């Protein structure tokens, strides 16, 4: 098997390898992936054969069995070596032919073949056996680290039931066009983004958002590809092609995440290329240089020390455990509904000390709701009938909030409605002139309003009926449920420099900032104003800035920040394209979780680096001095690699509260 297919092709943990083909997907859906289990067992057969023959050989040596001598002994250990050694020797030779001489395969081949040459047959087999077993464990660890992201890839829909020619036919999602009607049965995945045509639906979006709580969607609202239908047969109308759907873009982003290496990972790879040839030449020096300085020089003894030196120097622990650490961080984040576009952003997130955030859609829901209705001289319901008749002529978000009010009785109709730029609406309802808008509109028409309206900081709609002030409606954006706890948690993790920037009016922005305990806030800003504020912060080189926004009008600031974090909402094109980190659930508290995951990842990576280097240096010195055997060398290589892998796998088990 080429020792686990050349160790995932030289440890390049490419998520594109995870794409399930149709056969594998079918097995997954059935819950009986026999071929996968079979291949896992086959992977261990060579190691089992070598281990059995090694134990038998050592036992025959120990009991000094008469026939187990000379060529019989050499042939026995040679056969024991082949199942685990031949794939490594072959890979080493293939690498040499490609010009890549100093690989771990070359080191292990030279060290173990050298052990055979000097008659240390059991040790030669044991070193290669433990190396192969270590690679098998590494492969298992890689698969575990891939598990969370593979679960995301498994949400890729396989078919769509499309209504064509008066019947529902099963087709590939890639062939479905915009505007077609798709039926989704209970337990099936939504194949494409669309609009719900049925009255309502309940969907499991855990694979997309990290949230286990089912999401209830009403008729006319958006549904997203990859969600699982939980309740009844539903119908949707597709609004986008599969290649442009939210799940397709997210999958593409995740599959390419490992392409953006961290600086630490890039350094280790470059270091290994320099480090490996150096230790080879040092091993040659350990073999021959003592001849000129040692009186009782014995070639065999110094060659044995050099072989130990080679086994210890194999950079396996570094090459696999460092990327595996970052890979584990990416997997842990995706499991929590946080998508990093690469390991480099995991590193960048650990350095953040300044957080700048948008208001609307980030800490607030971005949905206006009626907070207060005050009718003067009118019944509230009749007052709202007049107001709604006018607002039906408007497309403003505030109009939408007002129209959600439900009043009993017959709906009124407005006529001769005209929009007065920057002020509001004027029209006729039930034969009465109605004005709906701000104070400037009332002043222009000589309508006197209540003084209490001057102290209201939220958005306010003033209403005049028949040239008399009839009341007002206060409209406010709601804070997200976890907004307050997010700011508190940010302070706890050491992010104390927090600033809010908003395009909403400054009075509202300041009020929200006070509610959230944010000391710095500015409102009434255009996108370029937000960019200027961030650029001012960047003038201080000590500031490492993350910006959180909705990814639409905040795109310039997302791009300019050290780390751009977008409230993806699963459907925001600009968020996915511009930001470095996507919060799929639109929960600001996930930013704190992203910081914790990043810091834990970096801590584990550096623990692995120190562990690998520390143990190797100690055993290298002992080996060169003749105080370490091949068994210590095996521990320094495979043992340290396994310890580093187990350390990295911890990321998959941590709880991120």
DSSP string, 322-380: HHHHHHHHHHHHHHTTEEES-HHHHHHHHT--EEEEESBTTTEEEEEEEEEEEESSS-H
Q: What local confidence, expressed as pLDDT, does residue 55 receive?
A: 94
- What is the pairing mode between strands 228-229 and 200-204? antiparallel
Strands 338-340 and 234-238: unpaired
Q: In this structure, are residues 568 and 584 in contact, taking their beta carbons and an 8 Å threshold?
A: yes
Give the residue, 436 or 629, on which the prediction is more confident.
436
The more confident residue out of 439 and 504 is 439
pLDDT digits (tens, 9 = 90+) for 17-56: 333 333 333 333 443 444 445 556 788 899 999 999 999 9
Q: What is the dihedral of CA 446, 447, 452, 457, to 10 degrees?
A: -80
Greater model confidence, 440 or 263: 440
Taking only the tens place, the pLDDT of each residue in 346-404 is: 999 999 999 999 887 788 887 778 889 999 999 999 999 999 999 888 777 778 888 88
Residues 253, 339: contact at Cβ < 8 Å?
yes
Separation of alpha carbons 469 and 376, rounded Å: 8
Domain ranges of the chain: 2-153+256-332+597-653, 177-240, 338-364+480-596, 366-478
Mean pLDDT along residues 520-531: 86
Top CATH class of 366-478 equals alpha beta
Residue 11 has pLDDT above 70, yes or no: no
At 189, the pLDDT band (50, 70, 90 cuts) reads: confident
Give the model's pLDDT for residue 357: 93
Confidence check: pLDDT of 634 > 80:
no
Query: Residue 628's pLDDT is what?
Result: 79
Distance CA 19, CA 28 (A): 12
Confidence of residue 436 (pLDDT cuts 50, 70, 90): very high
pLDDT digits (tens, 9 = 90+) for 225-275: 878 888 889 999 999 888 877 667 666 655 555 455 556 666 666 776 787
Please check the confidence at residue 460 and state whether its pLDDT lies above 70: yes
The reported pLDDT for the residue numbered 63 is 92
Query: For residues 16 and 143, what is the distance between their CA atoms, to the nearest angstrom?
Result: 13
Residue 362 burial (CB < 10 Å; 0-12/13-18/19+)? buried
Tell me if 222 sits within 8 A of 194, measured CB to CB: yes
For domain 177-240, give the CATH number: 2.70.150.10
User: CA 100, 103, 105: angle at the middle one, nearest 5?
Assistant: 120
- Which residues make Cβ contacts (< 8 Å) with residue 131, sequence separation at least 6? 3, 84, 88, 108, 314, 316, 634, 637, 638
pTM for the full model? 0.67
Q: Which fold has domain 338-364+480-596?
A: Rossmann fold (3.40.50)
6: pLDDT confidence band, cut at 50, 70 and 90? very low
Q: What phi, psi does 477 have (nearest 5°)?
A: -90, 135
Q: Catalytic one among 193, 347, 358, 477?
A: 358
CA nearest neighbour of 604 among 647, 655, 657: 647
Between 484 and 620, residue with greater pLDDT: 484
pLDDT at 197: 94
State yes or no: is 358 an active-site residue.
yes
Residue 617 has pLDDT above 60, yes or no: yes
476-494 pLDDT, tens digit each: 888 888 999 999 999 999 9
Average pLDDT over the chain reads 81
Confidence at residue 144, expressed as pLDDT on a 0 to 100 scale: 60
Q: What is the pLDDT of residue 195?
A: 93
């Amino acid at each position: 098997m080429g020792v686990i297919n050349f160790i995932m092709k030289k440890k390049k943990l490419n998520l594109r390898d995870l794409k399930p083909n149709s056969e594998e997907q079918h097995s997954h859906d059935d819950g009986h992936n026999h071929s996968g289990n079979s291949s896992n067992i086959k992977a261990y057969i060579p190691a089992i054969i070598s281990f059995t023959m090694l134990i038998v050989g050592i036992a025959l040596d120990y009991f000094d069995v008469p026939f187990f001598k000379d060529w019989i002994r050499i042939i026995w250990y040679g056969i024991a070596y082949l199942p685990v050694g031949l794939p490594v020797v072959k890979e080493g030779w293939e690498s040499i032919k490609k010009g890549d001489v100093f690989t771990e395969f070359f080191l292990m081949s030279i060290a173990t073949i050298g052990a055979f040459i000097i008659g240390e047959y059991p040790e030669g087999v044991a070193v290669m056996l433990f190396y192969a077993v270590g690679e098998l464990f590494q492969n298992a660890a890689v698969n575990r680290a891939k598990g969370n992201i593979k679960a995301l890839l498994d949400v890729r829909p396989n078919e769509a039931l499309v209504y064509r020619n008066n019947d529902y036919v099963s087709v590939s999602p890639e062939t479905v066009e915009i505007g077609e009607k798709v039926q989704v049965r209970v337990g099936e995945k939504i194949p494409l983004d669309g609009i719900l045509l049925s009255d309502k639906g309940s969907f499991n979006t855990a694979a997309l958002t990290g949230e286990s709580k089912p999401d209830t969607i009403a008729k006319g609202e958006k549904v997203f590809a990859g969600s699982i239908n939980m309740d009844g047969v539903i119908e949707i109308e597709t609004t986008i092609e599969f290649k442009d759907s939210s799940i397709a873009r997210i999958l593409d982003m995740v599959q390419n995440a490992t392409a953006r290496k961290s600086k630490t990972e890039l350094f280790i790879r470059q270091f290994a290329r320099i480090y490996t040839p150096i230790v080879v030449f040092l091993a040659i020096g350990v073999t021959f240089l003592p001849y000129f300085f040692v009186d009782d020089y014995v070639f065999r003894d110094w060659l044995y020390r050099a072989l130990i030196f080679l086994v210890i120097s194999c950079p396996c622990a570094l090459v696999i455990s460092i990327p595996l650490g970052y890979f584990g961080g990416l997997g842990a984040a995706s499991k929590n509904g946080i998508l990093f576009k690469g390991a480099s952003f995991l590193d960048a997130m650990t350095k953040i000390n300044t957080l700048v955030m948008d208001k609307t859609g980030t800490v607030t829901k971005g949905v206006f709701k009626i907070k207060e209705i005050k009718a003067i001289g009118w019944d509230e319901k009749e007052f709202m009938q007049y107001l709604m008749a006018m607002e039906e002529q408007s497309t403003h978000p505030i109009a939408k909030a007002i129209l959600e009010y439900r009043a009993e009785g017959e709906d009124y109709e407005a006529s001769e409605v005209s929009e007065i730029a920057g002020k509001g609406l004027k029209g006729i309802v039930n034969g009465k002139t109605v004005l709906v808008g701000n104070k400037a509109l009332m002043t222009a028409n000589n309508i006197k309003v209540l003084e209490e309206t001057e102290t209201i900081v939220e958005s306010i709609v003033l209403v005049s009926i028949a040239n008399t002030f009839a009341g007002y409606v206060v409209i406010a954006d709601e804070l997200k449920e976890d907004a307050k706890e997010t700011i508190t948690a940010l302070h706890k993790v050491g992010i104390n420099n927090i600033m809010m920037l908003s395009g909403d009016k400054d009075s509202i922005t300041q009020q929200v900032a006070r509610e959230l305990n944010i000391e710095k806030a500015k409102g009434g800003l255009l996108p370029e104003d937000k960019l200027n504020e961030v650029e001012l912060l960047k003038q201080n080189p000590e500031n490492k800035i993350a910006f959180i926004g909705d990814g639409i009008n905040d795109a310039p600031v997302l791009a300019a920040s050290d780390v751009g974090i977008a409230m993806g909402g699963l459907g925001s094109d600009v968020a996915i394209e511009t930001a470095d980190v996507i919060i799929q659930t639109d929960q600001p508290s996930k930013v704190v979780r992203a910081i914790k995951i990043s810091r834990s990842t970096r801590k584990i990576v550096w623990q692995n680096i120190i562990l690998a280097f520390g143990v190797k240096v100690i055993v290298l010195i002992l080996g060169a001095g003749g105080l370490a055997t091949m068994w210590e060398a095996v521990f320094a290589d495979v043992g340290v690699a396994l310890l580093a892998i187990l350390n990295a796998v911890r990321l998959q088990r941590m709880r991120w509260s």
